[in-house]
Structure 1
């Protein structure tokens, strides 16, 4: 902008200087022309005055006498007129001259001023005089006297005129320099007034180019530059609104992409990845920074995926496929490759939608296994009931002892079938969350004592000792019925899998926040627990380490024969786990074969 301001100032100075110089030239030429014209008019008048007062010598006078007469007369007239005076006869012979001897002077008939005077009545001419070596102004006028024609010529040096012109040029140059200085200052002020708003507009335009759409021009004028400033501000307002909309749309799009459960990959027509959602990063185990801008064949994935994408590019049709991925972990993915078309015909790339269906397929497999297990579990007691009923119908009913034995088996299997159906329905309701928890404060000391008391009869049959260790005044917010169901299931398992004479211990204790970090607590700190821990430990047969991860699965039994003989349905621990999770708690198991098993439950004191 400074360069522009300098150029504008120089242009304005040049224009002013050229104008002044041209005006000076015109004025000088006009001054010279007018001055010479005035001199010519004055000299014409002087010639007429000289002619009227001059006594012309007779032709009979000797030529030498005429030379002397007219020369003296010319010299006398020069003193009055201040100009060189020349008398010329009609044939061009110089009769007398105020400055030179006429006898030595050339014939003047062909002189420009004489010829012009002869034809026009007044002759004028400017030329360098050979005699005085100066530019001279010559004016000649024809005079007729006694039927004889003469020419009177006045000559005046233009030295004074040229000096006046030089003085004029000197003054003109001085004034031109002064005017240049003034013009430079004025031009700079004018250029500054023009360029400063333009400079501000340029700065604002550059800020807008750098995406600073809050930049505005401070408009102070209502001229064309002011209109330009208003236009820039209007453009910035429009751009700011549009960019806000674009940012909002981008934010919404990013939020949608980041929160989609499916992974999205966009590939342009050249095969380069232009978009990779966060979920796609997690599924593929590759960050967007590594893939965006690169060709899809450079992705660290199995060859089958690249083949599917290549097929989608070739056919430009929708492709649906399921594929097992092994990196970063083994999972089953559902792939949907959708061609992207612009204006219905222009192919611009493909959209790859990745969905992890491992959990869905696992649930489907679990559902199938559940149905198979239910069918198997139901089939066993039904087959037993049917078989013994057929035996009774075949005549065994007549044998009272056999009939009683068979009927007892039928009754036991019916009870088992009833428990199995009850547990299946209970688990179904729990998993579907159709039975909401009825939360209320539970005092754990008395609650645990009552629960243990309910199980004492069953424990006494196997001479198993039940022991309770519970601190006083421990409270928890829970569904009392569901909490009792949890404890009774675990106690029943402990009793069933503990040999006669064994022991089952129930421990209820508070869990303090990890920040406490001290073994000795004050009474106030002891009351500030946020969780409780229920531990049910038995001295039973234990669980092998390989079976520990699966014991909470439905129908999973470690010792199938013993479990079935004990009346278990295989759903107890699964029900316990779901009920604990409904209370926002956790359950863990520790076991050693031949030593015993310990279940550890932690529940929050308060629910949100």
Structure 2
């Protein structure tokens, strides 16, 4: 059982190695390189073997010829002994011999008469023949008393052969020619050598394949381990480290990967901790937060969002319009995703707990290139806050209305008393009259804010040229003291058409002028500019007074906030004028900001769209 398990495991490992493209590539490179080198070696050895065989064949041929020549010059007894022993000698194994006996005179006569007898029998391994011609070239040379040599195709051997003819003299009363031949090349020996080289090559190829396989496996084993380590790191698991054994390229790569893993683990822990903190913050938030991607799939929704939007788990990965039933929120998400702009709104929605009043804001999520990658919506249940604000507005409005009547009566009584009070009492009467006027101004400002908060000014919009607001400046200049700062009004030559609440914009400009006169102590001028800039209507009020400290600029629009409170109390003012201006500008979808003027004074800038929607 264990053997089968080990065999199965080995098979799986072999299959895994062979399925690896890197392993196959390395194995192929090693095997082909080794095969090429081995083939070159085999070819070189084969070439040397062939050359040595040919050289040995040539040398042996010359030696045998020398032996035959020596035998030809020996005595008759020795020649006969040599011929009788010729067939058993190993050195003559690939030679072919023939004794050519020249015909006698009688045989020659019989031959001339047409009779033929050329087979004189066999003696040992030597064939004896009587040749009547035509003689081959080497035999003709031997008949002439010389050693004959020739090379030609032999039909019996089916290859080129070397032919030799040596005159052996008279033997047994006959002239004998020793005719011998052998293959011109040692093909049999060469074929044997090549066959052995082929067998060696096949065996070497098999061993080379095994060595290449093991070498390729040994080469990719560290790479596979590094790949596994990188994959684990990509999956968020960084428990293992690379064990560096050698200071080679792989060792340096392993060190770098270990450092990268340590850094990754540290960053991952930081990200995990930050994500957990963020999830805790979102979980504890009263506002609902929902995020979707560019494919309209829900990525995240905290507990407040699940409560406010009535989301049912699991909703992650689903289309937002499948889970969010309120069309107002769906339209906000659609606008943020498709048009890439922020959508804000508020209104009544039906929740499982009942009807509630919510405020929401859907903002697009952009990449560094500016592409919309998704959207996030923040939803706040302001039912209780709105109820409290409504109660506060009603209280303020009612209290202001109740205060207006006695304040008016007090001012009237003070004006009447001026005719009956002597010179000693007039300073006190004037002080009471001044504070009564201030109290009346505060009441009027509070009533104005109440009307703005209660949306009592809706429907007052009209189309007009914004330059007509310069009349407010002229009226203000006529009513101001001649000792005050000089008022300068600059308007553009082209009309500045707007559709807005004219009465509210006049009130905003009047408040800015009053603020400039009140706080531009020692100033010589107040400048009003009305013009169009970048497709928006712009109103600027600048003075050359002491200006507003930079740290105060963000707070001057708060209700009842004053700069240098002791000085402003002496100079009057309700502390609501700039707050009223801001509310008016926001109702016109505009912006208001304060800057340092050209001479160091205060510069208030109002910018509103040229066309205002009907929902003011």
Which TM-score applies when normalising by structure 1? 0.44
Find the structure with the greater CA-based Rg: 1
TM-score, normalised to structure 2, is 0.43
